């Protein structure tokens, strides 16, 4: 389908009041990143083996007393796989941003009329068993030895969108999310609140333009 224009968001989501462009960029940049971080930490706390493996990779790559730096990220393939898996199961923008068809087009034998509002449900793509083996399982290993990436070329994983209107903040978000996650788990061990079991962690999603956790994660850092 030809790249289509972006309709005015507040025409479709009246809850979104028009804000100045600086405010837009600030909101787009901070919210998606902390949402990703919260889901990633939640998955790591629910999957202690994956947490241990990620911490071991960090221990072998970054000296314990040293803070993680941006330049370390390329040497942390398992951490990168955790971020990919977090984006697959918990994409912060589950429907990307709406598009409008500039002209009538046929996509996979469906006719999309001119001016139709088009939403891409990447949440559903991430859960599709025709694309992913055991889709409900949080399994970063699925990316090891695979070239799949989220920079807009592999359409099964497009948390930042794709094409001309792909998220312009991707390079910054890439650095922030990896660096923050790596720093949290390199500097601290983590546990759930007293008396809470792994299966008690609430994984409900608050569905909207962004896909937040319905109940904020509460985790306790332990100085390692
Ligand atoms: C984990 C972090 C982030 C995710 C998952 C994310 C995701 C997205 C997605 C899916 C879109 C819509 C793309 C489309 O419809 O094809 C978008 C647009 C946008 N993002 Fe991000 N984003 C993130 C971080 C950031 C950051 C850090 C900034 C800026 C500093 C930013 C600024 C923007 C802006 C300005 C747009 C609108 C672009 C347009 O209208 O063409 N984002 N983002």
pLDDT digits (tens, 9 = 90+) for 155-184: 999 999 999 899 999 999 999 999 999 999
For ligand 1, the distance from its centroid to the CA atom of residue 169, given in whole angstroms, is 6
Q: What is the pLDDT of residues 28-50, one digit of tens each?
A: 778 899 999 999 999 999 999 99
- Phi, psi angles (nearest 5°) of residue 219: -135, 150
Residue 34 belongs to what H/E stretch? helix 21-46
For ligand 1, the distance from its centroid to the CA atom of residue 167, given in whole angstroms, is 4
Spell out the SS3 assignment of 150-161: CCCCCCCCCCCC
Q: Is 108 annotated as a binding residue?
A: no
- The pLDDT-based confidence of 20 (bands split at 50, 70, 90) is very low
Residue ranges around ligand 1 (CB below 6 Å): 6, 25, 28-29, 32-33, 36, 92-93, 96-97, 159-161, 165-169, 172-173, 177
Domain-by-domain residue ranges, the chain?
Answer: 18-223
Q: Is the pLDDT assigned to residue 209 strictly greater than 60?
A: yes
Please say whether the beta carbons of 97 and 122 come within 8 A.
no
pTM: 0.90
Q: What is the pLDDT of residues 93-108, one digit of tens each?
A: 999 999 999 999 999 8
Report the alpha-carbon angle 137-149-89, nearest 5.
30
Give the per-residue pLDDT at 13: 53
Give the per-residue pLDDT at 1: 43
Alpha carbons 211 and 205: distance in angstroms, whole number: 6
List the structure tokens of 36. Answer: 């990703």
For ligand 1, the distance from its centroid to the CA atom of residue 29, given in whole angstroms, is 7
Compute the mean pLDDT over every residue in the chain, rounded to the nearest whole number.
Answer: 89
Give the per-residue pLDDT at 210: 87
Q: Which atom of ligand 1 is least distant from the CA of 176?
A: 27
Q: Which atom of ligand 1 is least distant from the CA of 35?
A: 1
**Overall average pLDDT of the 16-21 stretch:** 47
Give the per-residue pLDDT at 19: 45
**Overall average pLDDT of the 60-87 stretch:** 93
Which ipTM value was assigned to this complex? Answer: 0.98
**Which residues lie below 8 Å from residue 183, measured CB to CB, with a gap of 6+?**
67, 68
User: What class has domain 18-223?
Assistant: mainly alpha
For ligand 1, the distance from its centroid to the CA atom of residue 111, given in whole angstroms, is 28
Closest CA to 82 of 181, 200, 189, 205: 181
Reading phi first (left if > 0) and then psi (alpha if -120 to 50, else beta), residue 164 is in alpha
């Amino acid at each position: 389908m030809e790249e289509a224009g972006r309709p005015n968001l507040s025409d479709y989501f009246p809850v979104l009041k028009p804000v100045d462009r600086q405010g837009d960029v600030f909101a787009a940049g901070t919210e998606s990143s902390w949402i990703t971080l919260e889901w990633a930490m939640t998955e790591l706390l629910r999957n202690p083996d994956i947490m241990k493996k990620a911490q071991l990779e960090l221990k072998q790559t970054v000296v314990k007393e040293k803070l993680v730096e941006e330049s370390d990220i390329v040497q942390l393939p398992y951490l990168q796989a955790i971020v990919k898996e977090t984006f697959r199961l918990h994409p912060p923008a589950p429907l990307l941003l709406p598009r409008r068809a500039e002209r009538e087009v046929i996509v996979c034998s469906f006719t999309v009329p001119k001016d139709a509002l088009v939403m891409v449900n990447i949440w559903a793509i991430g859960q599709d068993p025709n694309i992913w083996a055991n889709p409900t399982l949080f399994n970063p290993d699925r990316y090891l030895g695979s070239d799949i990436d989220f920079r807009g070329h592999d359409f099964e994983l497009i948390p930042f969108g794709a094409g001309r209107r792909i998220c312009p903040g991707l390079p910054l978000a890439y650095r922030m999310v990896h660096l923050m996650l790596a720093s949290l788990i390199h500097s601290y061990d983590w546990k759930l609140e007293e008396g809470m079991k792994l299966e008690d962690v609430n994984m409900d999603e608050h569905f909207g333009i962004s896909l937040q956790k319905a109940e904020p994660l509460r985790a306790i850092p332990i100085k390692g």
